[in-house]
Structure 1
Amino acid sequence: MELVISLLQQMCVYLVLAYMLSKTPIILPLLSISSRLSHRLICYVLFSGFCILGTYFGLHINDAIANTRAIGAVMGGLFGGPVVGFAVGLTGGIHRYSLGGFTDLACAISTTAEGVIGGLLHVYLIKRNKGALLFNPSVVFSVTFVAEVVQMILLLAVAKPFDQAYELVSAIAAPMIIANSFGAALFMSILQDRKTIFEKYSATFSRRALTIADRSVGILSNGFNTENAEKIARIIYEETKVGAVAITDQEKILAFVGIGDDHHRPNTPISSQSTLDSMEKNDIIYLDGTERPYQCSLAKDCKLGSALIIPLRAGKAVIGTIKLYEPKRKLFSTANMSMAEGIAQLLSSQILYGDYQ
């Protein structure tokens, strides 16, 4: 029982690391299955690290180490396939072999085998178009359970003397199988939650972008003027939920919708140097309100605190800008920043189409 608790404590370290990684861009490649080399390299490096950590955090018992190394090996195979699983398992196995003990060779072989087992399941599910099951915690629990049973069999078959190996397996088999299986399943559960959030986020982003495109079709093809710009600005404002939206030509504000519309008035000359710089350099300018402060040039008490300025083009010529604002103490979302660039490209295409009509 004491060994189970100790191994579960090791598992908690894995889960904390998994949770922390889920908040960083490092984990993004793991949210999808890919055969690209970059994806495989990330899987190899990440899960090899987990393999080695599992050994270092292990408990020394009878000249052997009870550990959670299997989590890294199996997960490496599940995400990267048999080649990556073999490489991760071999790396973790060689590291374990370097530490010595009467089970060193058996552990090296079994860790490699665990990576391959995860990789074989990867191939099996992908070939049957069931790749989504790789993110199923129950599947991960099952394959890790099997991999750990295989490890115990290999320990009995390879480690010498047999009596000592049998005594060791009798002591560590149940704790290691339980800890590694539950640990791998919970690890995957964290990744699965992150994947679900990411997919919902992407779906919302796509839906908004398509709605904006659908509502704005044909408006600017009738002319890049105040009336049409106001329609476009209102559509973008309603769909993105930003603080304010402005559209300018090269000289004046054509439309402004949202916070600050009492002093940002259409048909008034452009007073923002950042807007002029964006058109002159044909480049996106982001004033985040902290490192690059935004200061309204029309009113000192303006409630807007940050701005994203994107040039509008008709072919190669810059003919104006689209500007998104957020109020003070509110940051731009990454989705709205990416969407704004797409909207600018859409509007530029519509303007160019109108010019050729």
Structure 2
Amino acid sequence: MQLILLLTQQMCLYLVIVYLLSKTPLFKLFAETATRLPHKIYIYLIFSGFCIMATYFGEQTNDAIANTRAMGAVLGGLLGGPVTGFLVGLTGGLHRYSMGGFTDLACAISTTLEGLSVGIVGLYLRKINKSELVYTPLLVCLVTFSAEMLQMGVILAVAKPYADAVELVKQIALPMLLVNSIGAALFMSMVRDQKTMFDKLSSAFSTKALKIAERSVGVLSKGFDQESSTKVAQIIIEETNVGAVAITDKEKLLAFIGIGDDHHIPGTPISSQITQDAIEQNCVMFADGVETSYACSISAQCRLGSSLVIPLRCESEVIGTIKLYEPKNKLFLNINKTLGEGIARLMSNQILYGRYEQQQSLLTQSELKLLQAQVNPHFLFNALNTIAAIIGRDPLMARKLIQHLAQFLRINLKRTTGLVTLADELEHIDAYLTIEKARFIDRLSVTISIPESLHHYKLPAFTLQPIIENAVKHGTSHLLDPGEIEVTGRVQQESLVLAVTDNAGLYQTSTDKDQSGLGMSIVDKRIKNLFGNGYGVAVLCEQDSYTRITITLPLSTTAHSED
């Protein structure tokens, strides 16, 4: 009875150590399947240490040591597999052998066999897809009991003299069988509880994240604005049950749902310093209201008491924030902190995907329009008719027109939708205008006033030609008087500004994109997608007087390099 109490004290010491260990991140490794080498090494070190400690703290009995060493070997084998279990048992056995006594060899052999045999049991359970049984305290108790029975058999078979071995087994068998079995089961019970808690948290986290992802898919891909942000904020607050959810861009509040929505008004500028810091520093900011004070920047009566602000990133640029709040009477849960960061990544990816989809859609649309323009049937028909009319009276002129038509078609076929130099664009325009001026004879004059110093700047292909074609097709061709088109270029405030002006003044806003020829709106969208909303196409029209189309491009992005 006394030996049972002594071994129980030793077991309790281990369990206290295990309890303290359970408060560290390292304890999570016990709840994972040991498949990686660092994991196995960690298990080997921990349970080898238990074996050695158990031997040191064991109770001397008839020139032998009664101890709880078997717990380390058994648990090492179950959690780490046969190789790890063998090494744990071997280390514990060799240490026991170094302590001497008539059971030293028997204990060394039995401890090694315990680690190896139990490791094989654990491996077998994993192979038949029943690895969860490894964490069952009852199974661990039975396995440890069997391992200790094996140890008693080895002592009887190896220890000499046999009579002393029998006497020793009579004294230590029951205490060691009971204490080691119960201790291993209690240890695994703690591991199982931790594993269950981790699994529940992971399941809850995954379920919430998947629901949010499922409900919000496609919302932000249509645009990062007040309408889409409000929809996403409503989804998040329904799934997380936090006090409030807010979404901002870099300047203003786009959406606010929850406590405090009476004074946090969408569309108002960002007033919170913590939000501004998150945007400027591109990092997560957390004010729990305890260690880091939090106070609403708008209303002193606001019931919100803590805030988590996470930047929304599109590639490497911060484009806004998502903010989760809790009221003053509620703590901010760690799972909501982690979930908030996951939601921010999800939203950032959706916004990035939306921009990518928009660019792809516009690019495809532009390419289709431009492919149609490569062999514009109206232009080709008019050009051939013009050549046919001229060829009889002026064969040389007809030959030149055919050459210009061939050059125009060749440029169309060879040109990509990427960036070209302004000189290349002007060459394309010259081939087009030569044919058009021959068609209208003296009823069309074109003046191009762009300094040669600007010819090396780059711009998207098919930027000027569609605009000039619109000026002819929808402008000067409808005049009774001679049509005049002027093309100018200049540098203004770090921008390249090109302008196409006709003297028709017939421009009309229309929802029918065909009314803009190849699509002035497409040219505008292409430029905005490439360079930002600060650039693009602007129209100034004075009816029956003039129409001026201005194209603005950034100098820093037009890649001015000598070709």
Q: TM-score, normalised by structure 2?
A: 0.60
- 1:342-353 to structure 2, matched below 5 A, reads 342-353=342-353
Kept after mapping to 1: 8 A contact 2:304/2:327: yes
Give secondary structure in 2 for the equivalent of 1:332: coil
State the shift of 1:288 in Å.
3.3
**For structure 1, which segment, 104-113 or 205-214, has the greater mean C-alpha deviation from structure 2 after superposition?**
104-113
Deviations 1:157-203 (A, max 9, x none): 33233222221111111211121112212221221222222212211
Kept after mapping to 1: 8 A contact 2:219/2:232: yes
- 1:319-330 to structure 2, matched below 5 A, reads 319-328=319-328, 330=330
Give secondary structure in 2 for the equivalent of 1:193: helix
Aligned to 2:187: 187
Aligned to 2:250: 250
Unpaired stretches in structure 1, ≥5 consecutive residues: none
State the shift of 1:232 in Å.
1.2
Aligned to 2:235: 235
Q: Output the CA distance in 2 between the equivalents of 1:158 and 1:289.
A: 67
Kept after mapping to 1: 8 A contact 2:34/2:81: no
Q: Output the CA distance in 1 between the equivalents of 2:307 and 2:42.
A: 35
State the shift of 1:81 in Å.
1.0
Kindly name which structure, 1 or 2, has the bigger radius of gyration based on alpha carbons. 2
Q: Output the CA distance in 2 between the equivalents of 1:310 and 1:35.
A: 35
- 1:162-181 to structure 2, matched below 5 A, reads 162-181=162-181
Aligned to 1:33: 33
Aligned to 2:80: 80
State the shift of 1:329 in Å.
5.7
Give secondary structure in 2 for the equivalent of 1:264: coil
Aligned to 1:70: 70
Q: Output the CA distance in 1 between the equivalents of 2:142 and 2:295.
A: 58
Q: Output the CA distance in 1 between the equivalents of 2:129 and 2:228.
A: 48
Aligned to 1:217: 217
Q: Which letter does structure 1 place at the counterpart of 2:310?
A: I
Q: Output the CA distance in 1 between the equivalents of 2:241 and 2:272.
A: 23
Aligned to 2:90: 90
RMSD: 2.0
Q: Output the CA distance in 2 between the equivalents of 1:298 and 1:285.
A: 19
Aligned to 2:428: none
Give secondary structure in 2 for the equivalent of 1:351: helix
State the shift of 1:249 in Å.
0.8
Aligned to 2:126: 126
**For structure 1, which segment, 216-225 or 35-44, has the greater mean C-alpha deviation from structure 2 after superposition?**
216-225
Q: Output the CA distance in 2 between the equivalents of 1:78 and 1:227.
A: 55
Q: Does 1:313 align with 2:313?
A: yes
Q: Which letter does structure 2 place at the counterpart of 1:2?
A: Q
Give secondary structure in 2 for the equivalent of 1:65: strand
Deviations 1:254-286 (A, max 9, x none): 112223323322222111222122222322222
Unpaired stretches in structure 2, ≥5 consecutive residues: 359-563
**For structure 1, which segment, 133-142 or 90-99, has the greater mean C-alpha deviation from structure 2 after superposition?**
90-99
State the shift of 1:119 in Å.
1.1
Aligned to 1:110: 110
**For structure 1, which segment, 54-63 or 30-39, has the greater mean C-alpha deviation from structure 2 after superposition?**
54-63
Deviations 1:121-148 (A, max 9, x none): 1222222222222112222122211211
- 1:264-275 to structure 2, matched below 5 A, reads 264-275=264-275
Give secondary structure in 2 for the equivalent of 1:101: coil
Give secondary structure in 2 for the equivalent of 1:283: coil
- 1:140-155 to structure 2, matched below 5 A, reads 140-155=140-155
Q: Output the CA distance in 1 between the equivalents of 2:96 and 2:292.
A: 50
Q: Which letter does structure 1 place at the counterpart of 2:261?
A: D
Answer 1 or 2: which has greater strand percent: 2
Q: Output the CA distance in 2 between the equivalents of 1:41 and 1:61.
A: 33
Q: Which letter does structure 2 place at the counterpart of 1:128?
A: I
State the shift of 1:86 in Å.
1.5
1:53–1:328 distance in 2 versus 1, CA, 3 Å: farther
State the shift of 1:334 in Å.
2.5
Q: Output the CA distance in 2 between the equivalents of 1:119 and 1:345.
A: 41
Q: Does 1:21 align with 2:24?
A: no
State the shift of 1:301 in Å.
4.3
State the shift of 1:80 in Å.
0.6
Q: Which letter does structure 2 place at the counterpart of 1:102?
A: F
Q: Does 1:5 align with 2:13?
A: no
Q: Which letter does structure 2 place at the counterpart of 1:327?
A: P
State the shift of 1:54 in Å.
2.1
Give secondary structure in 1 for the equivalent of 2:102: coil
State the shift of 1:44 in Å.
1.0
Kept after mapping to 1: 8 A contact 2:75/2:184: yes
Deviations 1:321-342 (A, max 9, x none): 1011223364432321221122
Q: Output the CA distance in 2 between the equivalents of 1:64 and 1:146.
A: 21
**For structure 1, which segment, 98-107 or 37-46, has the greater mean C-alpha deviation from structure 2 after superposition?**
98-107
Q: Output the CA distance in 2 between the equivalents of 1:273 and 1:240.
A: 25
Q: Which letter does structure 1 place at the counterpart of 2:42?
A: I
Give secondary structure in 1 for the equivalent of 2:6: helix
Q: Output the CA distance in 2 between the equivalents of 1:76 and 1:315.
A: 45
How many residues are paired up? 357
Answer 1 or 2: which has greater helix percent: 1
1:56–1:301 distance in 2 versus 1, CA, 3 Å: farther
Aligned to 1:196: 196
**For structure 1, which segment, 122-131 or 79-88, has the greater mean C-alpha deviation from structure 2 after superposition?**
122-131
Kept after mapping to 1: 8 A contact 2:148/2:176: yes
- 1:39-50 to structure 2, matched below 5 A, reads 39-50=39-50
Q: Which letter does structure 2 place at the counterpart of 1:123?
A: L
State the shift of 1:303 in Å.
3.2
Q: Output the CA distance in 1 between the equivalents of 2:161 and 2:224.
A: 85
State the shift of 1:10 in Å.
2.7
